């Protein structure tokens, strides 16, 4: 029997037999694992309709034991014999519960196969990005993405909060950002923004699902929306030959200063980098975001500044990453910022191809040289907003057509030559929002490719596509039962399990 586990655990030993879960099954808490017991009870009620009582004391055959260990980390063990026993720290217990969810089988009642699993992630950073700037995503939609991502053991939620099309987070000291800059979105869709309480609720919900929120304020480009609120802080839209050709190829209007931008062209906007009023603004904004963010990271953008002089761009990146550290956060930037003297310890996010073009590899290596690390998000394999095939109704295709096999069969260590293995922080899969409007649209682009990226980020090197396609096919029924929908590629044998 092939166990339907995604991501594939580090070690799995199967044994004959199954354990039945019944109305007498209890959850037995050991060593103050009460929080995990609550998560487990909710999962079982959702998946099986059974809600076992939570007790302390000695386990009996048929019980599920959750034991919190003193060690820290995301590793866990799961053993199924005459009981189910899950051990780990808080994060590890959560991930063990996600594994148990996938092991449950309905066959004249609910059973779990006898197995022993010892598991730990390959990478400590396993992220999903959602773009709330081009299309505003309500709080409940963001929570739904957290539900889906955390079930596959992702532990970072990167929120892209600002772009040319809209500003999505209220900043007390700069109220016009949301009063004027949040009113619209791509294609003239309705705008919106997160209040401080909205953002706190997203952070709280993510933490309950073992995910850390990584907010992004994209600078110095992707800043047209800032100009709607504070026009004195931004340059006039850049109109060089390359950007004019881009607008023509997209069939979209050029950006106009002071008017909302509803297209999806890039590279035409910038703050006034040499103006000290800009730096007062940047400090105000980043201070406000840092105060709202308990996690260690603050993403400050740094991509696609196509009309910005290189010396000005580099000066901005050097200063903004230093400011981020001053505010007590680890800066993350897109990989282009590697052209500058980024602050020591800055993390770069590589979004180039798996075959790096131009200066991309040099820029990525520079983060390691400066004591930082790199998150791998190659756009031709990890971008969830790209189409599965040319006929797929959602998504774009500027980076690649990304079917399930393409999303699975890439190796983070093989992209940037000379980048030390230990300098790879992990993997992140971005979902840009030009073509999505609903949660159903999001599910179509997430599933099943999100499962492929989850395995790239979690499982040991040496993954096998044929084994994965069998395992992921068995999860379709679980996703359907959860109401998660998604695309079902014909090359996968989808089980109703």
What does the DSSP assignment read for 400-444? ----HHHHHS--GGGSSTT--GGGEEEEEEEE--SS--SHHHHHH
Q: What's the whole-number mean pLDDT along residues 468-489?
A: 95
pLDDT digits (tens, 9 = 90+) for 160-176: 999 999 999 999 999 99
Structural domains of the chain, with CATH? 11-119 (3.30.379.10), 125-482 (3.20.20.80)
* CA–CA gap between residue 165 and residue 78 (Å, rounded): 46
Per-residue pLDDT averaged across 49-59, rounded?
96
Q: Tell me which residues are annotated as active site.
A: 304
Task: Give every CB contact of residue 8 below 8 A, 6+ residues apart in sequence.
Answer: 455, 458, 459, 463, 467, 468, 471
Residue 23 has pLDDT above 80, yes or no: yes
Chain centroid to Cα 327, Å, comes to 23
Q: Is the pLDDT of residue 244 over 90?
A: no
For the ranges 214-218, 234-238, 332-336, 369-373, the lowest mean pLDDT is seen at 234-238
Which residues on neighbouring strands pair with residue 84, listed in sequence order? 64, 80
Give tens-digit pLDDT for 434-452.
999 999 999 999 999 999 9
pLDDT of residue 259: 95
Cα→Cα distances 355→14, 69, 92, Å: 39, 43, 35
Parallel/antiparallel/unpaired status of strands 84-88 and 76-80: antiparallel
Average pLDDT of the chain, as a whole number: 97
| pLDDT score of 252 | 85
Q: What percent of the chain has pLDDT over 70?
A: 100
Q: Which two tokens stand for residue 322?
A: 């230093």
Nearest to 97 by CA among 10, 207, 201, 210: 210
Q: Taking residues 87-113, what's their average pLDDT? A: 97
pLDDT tens digits along 341-361: 999 999 999 999 999 999 999
Query: Counting every residue, how long is the chain?
Result: 497
Q: Is 132 exposed, middle or buried (0-12, 13-18, 19+ CB in 10 A)?
A: buried
Model confidence band, residue 248 (pLDDT cutoffs 50, 70, 90): confident
Q: What is the pLDDT of residues 289-319, one digit of tens each?
A: 999 999 999 999 999 999 899 999 999 999 9
């Amino acid at each position: 029997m092939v166990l339907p586990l995604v991501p594939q655990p580090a070690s799995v030993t199967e044994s004959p037999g199954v354990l039945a879960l019944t109305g007498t099954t209890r959850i037995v808490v050991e060593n103050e694992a009460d929080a995990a017991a609550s998560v487990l009870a909710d999962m079982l009620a959702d998946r099986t309709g059974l809600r076992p009582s939570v007790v302390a004391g000695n386990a009996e055959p048929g019980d599920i034991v959750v034991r919190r260990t003193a060690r820290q980390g995301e590793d866990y063990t799961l053993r199924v014999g005459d009981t189910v026993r899950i051990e780990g720290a808080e994060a590890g217990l959560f991930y063990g519960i996600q594994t148990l969810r996938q092991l449950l089988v309905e066959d004249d009642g609910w059973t779990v196969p006898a197995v022993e699993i010892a598991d730990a992630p390959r990478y400590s950073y396993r992220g999903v990005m959602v773009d709330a700037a081009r299309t505003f995503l309500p709080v409940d939609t963001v929570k739904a993405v957290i539900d889906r991502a955390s079930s596959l053991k992702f532990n970072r939620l990167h929120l892209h909060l600002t772009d040319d099309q809209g500003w999505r987070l209220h900043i007390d000291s700069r109220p016009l950002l949301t009063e004027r800059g949040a009113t619209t979105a791509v294609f003239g869709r309705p705008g919106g923004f997160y209040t401080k309480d909205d953002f706190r609720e997203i952070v709280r919900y993510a933490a309950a699902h073992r995910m850390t929120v990584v907010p992004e304020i994209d600078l110095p480009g992707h800043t047209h929306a800032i100009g709607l609120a504070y026009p004195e802080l931004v340059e006039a839209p850049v109109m060089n030959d390359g950007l004019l050709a881009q607008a023509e190829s997209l069939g979209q209007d050029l950006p106009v200063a002071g008017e909302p931008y509803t297209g999806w062209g890039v590279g035409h906007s910038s703050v006034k980098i040499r103006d000290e009023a800009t730096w007062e603004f940047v400090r105000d904004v980043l201070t406000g975001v840092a105060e709202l963010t308990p996690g260690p990271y603050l993403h400050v953008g740094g991509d696609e500044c196509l009309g910005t002089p290189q010396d000005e761009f580099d000066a901005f990146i050097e200063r903004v990453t230093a400011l981020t550290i001053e505010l007590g956060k680890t800066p993350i930037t897109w990989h282009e910022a590697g052209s500058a003297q980024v602050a020591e310890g800055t993390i770069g996010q590589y979004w180039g191809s798996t075959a790096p073009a131009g200066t991309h590899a040099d820029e990525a290596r520079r983060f390691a040289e400066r004591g930082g690390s790199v998150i791998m998000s190659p756009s031709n394999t990890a971008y969830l907003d790209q189409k599965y095939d040319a006929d797929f109704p959602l998504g774009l295709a500027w980076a690649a057509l990304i079917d399930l096999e393409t999303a699975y069969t890439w190796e983070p260590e093989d992209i940037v030559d000379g980048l030390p293995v230990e300098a790879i922080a992990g993997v992140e899969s971005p979902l840009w929002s030009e073509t999505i409007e609903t949660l159903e649209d999001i599910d179509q682009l997430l599933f099943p490719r999100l499962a492929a990226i989850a395995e790239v980020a979690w499982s040991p090197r040496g993954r096998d596509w044929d084994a994965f396609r069998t395992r992921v096919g068995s999860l379709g029924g679980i996703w359907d039962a959860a109401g998660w929908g998604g695309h079902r590629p014909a090359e996968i044998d989808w089980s109703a399990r």
